[in-house]
Structure 1
Amino acid sequence: MKGNDLTHTISEDMTVFPGSETPKLTTKSTYEKDGFKETLLQMYSHVGTHMDPPAHIFTNQKTLDQFSPEQFIDKALVVDCRDLKEGQAITIDKIDIDKAKLADFLLFNLGWDKRWNLDTYFNDYPCIDNTVLEFILNSNFKGIGFDVMGLEDPLCDENLTRHKALFKDTDIVNIENLTHLEQCGDELFWFSCFQLKIENCDGIPIRAIA
């Protein structure tokens, strides 16, 4: 089975949310001294290509480690939004509704991953409008995903309005900072987004694979 990697590599000089610290990957054991290599990882739980559960926003809501493994693998559909400009909305006409109803993950390709490691990655990227959000809430998706850093622009909407609406009553996962979604085509495909199983997990980097 062929796999396409939809994940940004974690490194000490990677793009991070403004105000966050970059990861630190510190060698603690070496081949020369210890006969093996071991690295201390220090990073935020929402760094790079990562996944949010409801507990990212709401206390006493579902954490990632509380989901069953089936939550993280199934059929996905990419919604091509690469023609949208800064500040434009992702509207319902972008979605092939018949195909989307057969998908378990809905992934939005804005082409913003091409701005990764550029200052313009944080510019006014397109976000889903209320009609698309309602469609997601009224469907039975396991997850949604974007090649930008959020459902909304958190630099403009500090209240995280769409995050709150998504997670208020829905056990769904939200994936951010995907890449290479253009490799997935416009038909359904198998998609997985597994992560470390960490207690009370509010979010974690993933390895997203098509």
Structure 2
Amino acid sequence: MMRVIDLTLTLQRPMRGVDWEITHRLEQHGWNGRMLKLYSHAGTHIDAPFHFGVGSTTIDEIDPARFRDTAWLADLGNTEEGQLLEPAHLGRLAQDFPPGQSLLLRTGWSRYARTDLARYRDRLPRISRSLAQWCVQKRVNMLGVEPPSVADVNQLDEVSEIHRILLEAGILIIEGLTNLHQIRQPRVELCAFPLSIKGSDGAPARVLAYEEEGA
């Protein structure tokens, strides 16, 4: 029997890039409805190569078969503010990772997503150049992280370099994951489906992990 873990942050105010306007009310119109205003990288989301100008591929042009894959969990413990994540932090997985599959990095950082938005965005643990290059060498399909970015969003050179290394290699970047602490097994089936938005540089996604009960 499969156990399902929802790795998706619920979109809500005052999250960055999330807003809406109530346009219809049941009492007045006969149904409820709202107009959503979403940043393409709000909450749990996936980056397309076009996000950093690595080619012209947009989120709607990515083969949807890539959004379902076997993913391995690297437990990095509760990382420190601004910590650079290196291949050594992966432990045995640095050697044993099966090339071509997907990787989830558990850092505990999502605990700040609703309690300390400034820390969550501005002091996040970051993927080092060497770890990004390791992902390229291992042909990682999807790379999932808890912070809202794989690199320091306040350092343009860094955030551009790390994204470009990954995106140029065709790696799908999932940012803003949560509930990774609920995963019990070292390997899960990962399903991460972004909204199909024409011409978009990225999109919010619903991300689920499936694991065998009692495996």
* Pair 82,103 (structure 1): closer, same or farther in 2 beyond 3 Å: farther
Question: How far apart are residue 202 of structure 1 and its match?
Answer: 0.7
TM-score using structure 2 length: 0.86
Give the match for residue 115 of structure 1: 112
Q: Is 1:138 the counterpart of 2:133 in the alignment?
A: no
Give the match for residue 101 of structure 1: 98
Aligned residues: 203
> How many angstroms apart in 1 are the aligned matches of 2:82 and 2:26?
50
Q: Which stretch has the larger CA shift, 44-53 or 84-93?
A: 84-93
Please list the CA deviations of residues 126-159 of structure 1 after superposition, one character each: whole Å capped at 9, or x if unmatched.
2222221111111222210110121110113455
Partner AA of 1:138 in structure 2 = Q
> How many angstroms apart in 1 are the aligned matches of 2:63 and 2:124?
32
Partner AA of 2:102 in structure 1 = F
Name stretches of at least 5 consecutive residues in structure 2 with no aligned partner.
210-215
In the TM superposition, structure 1's runs of 4+ consecutive aligned residues that sit over 3 Å from their partners are none
RMSD over equivalenced CA pairs, Å: 1.9
Tell me, yes or no, if the aligned pair for 1:50 and 1:204 is still in contact at 8 Å. Answer: yes
Tell me, yes or no, if the aligned pair for 2:76 and 2:107 is still in contact at 8 Å. Answer: yes
Q: Is 1:47 the counterpart of 2:39 in the alignment?
A: no
Give the match for residue 187 of structure 1: 186
Query: What aligned pairs does 1:198-209 form with structure 2 within 5 A after superposition?
Result: 198-209=197-208
Question: How far apart are residue 85 of structure 1 and its match?
Answer: 1.9
* Pair 30,87 (structure 1): closer, same or farther in 2 beyond 3 Å: closer
Give the match for residue 8 of structure 2: 7
Give the match for residue 164 of structure 1: 164
> How many angstroms apart in 1 are the aligned matches of 2:202 and 2:47?
5
2:64 to 69, 75, 96: 69
Tell me, yes or no, if the aligned pair for 1:77 and 1:99 is still in contact at 8 Å. Answer: no
Question: How far apart are residue 61 of structure 1 and its match?
Answer: 2.5
> How many angstroms apart in 1 are the aligned matches of 2:59 and 2:19?
23
TM-score using structure 1 length: 0.88
SS at match of 2:53: coil
Query: What aligned pairs does 1:84-95 form with structure 2 within 5 A after superposition?
Result: 84-95=79-90
Question: How far apart are residue 203 of structure 1 and its match?
Answer: 0.6
